[in-house]
Amino acid sequence: MVVLGLETSCDETSIAILDKGIVRANAVYTQSIHSRYGGVVPEMASRAHLQKIDRLCRVVFDEQAIGLDKIDLIAVTDRPGLAGALLVGISFAMGLSCAGAKPVIGVNHLEGHIASVTLQHPELAFPFLALVVSGGHTALYTVTDFGAYTLLGKTIDDAAGEAFDKIGKMLGFTYPAGRQIEQMAATYTGGNPILFPIARVEREGINFSFSGLKTAVKYYLAKQTPQFIEENKGHLCYSVQKAIIDALVRNVEAAVKLTAINRIAVVGGVACNGALRAALQSVWSSSVFFPSLVLCTDNAAMIAKAGYENYTRGIHRFPSMTPEIEENQNRSGLLKHKSGLQTDSVTAATPP
């Protein structure tokens, strides 16, 4: 089965081809326009997707020397994300579906991130724990199969990547700041972090909170001179990164204890972070799994994989034309039952 994957939920336009579960192409265009604004500007993101998606699709088809006739399934991210940005991908997918009489399936973006790890690690057996750490999401799931997730906990405010980005902005980095913070943190070799507080969330579930860290750093910086901040940037970045990593590791430890599952997948943009990888590997060594860097950040290969696995299991949701954004979706959209699919949104694959 050849699957065409489409991803436009935020600031990456991506098109992928998956053939029998193997990635043949995974073209990713990252919108650079947002860096000057310190975050993603939704309207600009939608326009940039519109400008790129058709051309990117043609390039992938040309490179692979295939056409729509060779595609068996179209998988598109339809939630959660920026409504306008999602609609570009969904409309494009629907257009291709109509033109080629191809089935089309809606994929939850977080499900895509979880599936990303399975592209390179077929040995990762179910059940496993999934730590989704990205710019928009931070959550822990038990994964018993593709399409079957139990939410163990999530952030009650900022996502881990958002914390990197917002604190990075305070420190003078451009958006997205995670990689820049990691690089700057690596210049500090003292091993003596400034102890920024990380909240323990005592509510039900293994939840996360990063907004207190952001505030603590803000007040800390307000008391320093610009020269001090500049001269100690490595130390500051090291300390911020360590606080975020410690919180993530602590909650994974709690999830392992709660579920007695010690196979862990770590996915999403923050999973690119080398210090996070090292910290998790130092505890769980070879039972912690990461996608390659290009598959951690937003990409269509992971959407194609999740769509393919769900479709072959008979889990099929027609893409929603009214993308349900986080607030309407229990934040992550992945609920405590199979695939988070509501029965009224499951329809046949036949295009109109």
CB of 347 to Zn ion, least distance (A): 26
DSSP 161-214: HHHHHHHHHHTTPPSS-HHHHHHHHTT---------------SSSS-B--HHHH
Is 156 or 258 the residue whose CB approaches ligand KG4 more closely?
156
- Helices 178-185 and 274-284, axial angle in degrees (round to 10): 70
**Stretch of 98-106, 143-151, 178-186, 330-338 lying at the interface with ligand KG4 (CB under 6 A):** 178-186
Alpha carbon distance 103, 95 (integer Å): 11
**Stretch of 87-95, 134-142, 149-157, 186-194 lying at the interface with ligand KG4 (CB under 6 A):** 134-142
CB of 149 to ligand KG4, least distance (A): 17
Q: Is 269 in the site for ligand KG4 (CB under 6 A)?
A: yes
CA–chain centroid gap for 141, Å, is: 14
In this chain, which of 7, 111, 165, 324 binds ligand KG4, going by CB under 6 A? 165
Binding-site ranges for Zn ion (CB under 5 A): 134, 298
Binding partner selected for residue 161 from Zn ion, ligand KG4, none, CB under the kind-specific 5 to 8 Å limit: ligand KG4
Alpha carbon distance 151, 130 (integer Å): 10
Alpha carbon distance 80, 327 (integer Å): 9
Q: Is 161 in the site for ligand KG4 (CB under 6 A)?
A: yes
CB of 44 to ligand KG4, least distance (A): 16
In this chain, which of 298, 300, 304, 309 binds ligand KG4, going by CB under 6 A? 298
CB of 212 to Zn ion, least distance (A): 24
User: In the block, which residue shows the tokens 């990303």?
Assistant: 116
What is the total count of residues that contact ligand KG4 (CB under 6 A)?
19
Dihedral over alpha carbons 27, 33, 36, 37 (to 10 degrees)? -100
Phi, psi of 142 (to 5 degrees): -95, 130
Q: Is 45 in the site for ligand KG4 (CB under 6 A)?
A: no
In this chain, which of 207, 297, 332, 339 binds ligand KG4, going by CB under 6 A? 297
In this chain, which of 118, 273, 332, 339 binds ligand KG4, going by CB under 6 A? 273
What b/e sequence results for 95-105 when a residue is b if at least 16 CB atoms lie within 10 Å of its CB, and e otherwise?
Answer: ebbeebebbbb
Measured between alpha carbons, how far apart are the two ends of the chain, in Å? 22
Q: Is 28 in the site for ligand KG4 (CB under 6 A)?
A: no
Dihedral over alpha carbons 28, 15, 120, 256 (to 10 degrees)? 80
Is 13 or 97 the residue whose CB approaches Zn ion more closely?
13
Binding partner selected for residue 179 from Zn ion, ligand KG4, none, CB under the kind-specific 5 to 8 Å limit: ligand KG4
Q: Report the 10 Å Cβ neighbour count for 145.
A: 13
Alpha carbon distance 72, 306 (integer Å): 15
Binding partner selected for residue 272 from Zn ion, ligand KG4, none, CB under the kind-specific 5 to 8 Å limit: ligand KG4
Q: Is 80 in the site for ligand KG4 (CB under 6 A)?
A: no
Is 85 or 96 the residue whose CB approaches ligand KG4 more closely?
85
Is 176 or 307 the residue whose CB approaches ligand KG4 more closely?
176
Is 268 or 307 the residue whose CB approaches ligand KG4 more closely?
268
CA angle 336, 339, 342 (to 5 degrees): 85
Give the CA distances from residue 199 to residues 63, 154, 340, in Å, rounded to whole numbers and listed in that order: 49, 13, 29
Binding partner selected for residue 291 from ligand KG4, Zn ion, none, CB under the kind-specific 5 to 8 Å limit: none
Query: Applying CB under 6 A, which residues contact ligand KG4?
Result: 10, 134-136, 161, 164-165, 176-179, 182, 268-270, 272-273, 297-298
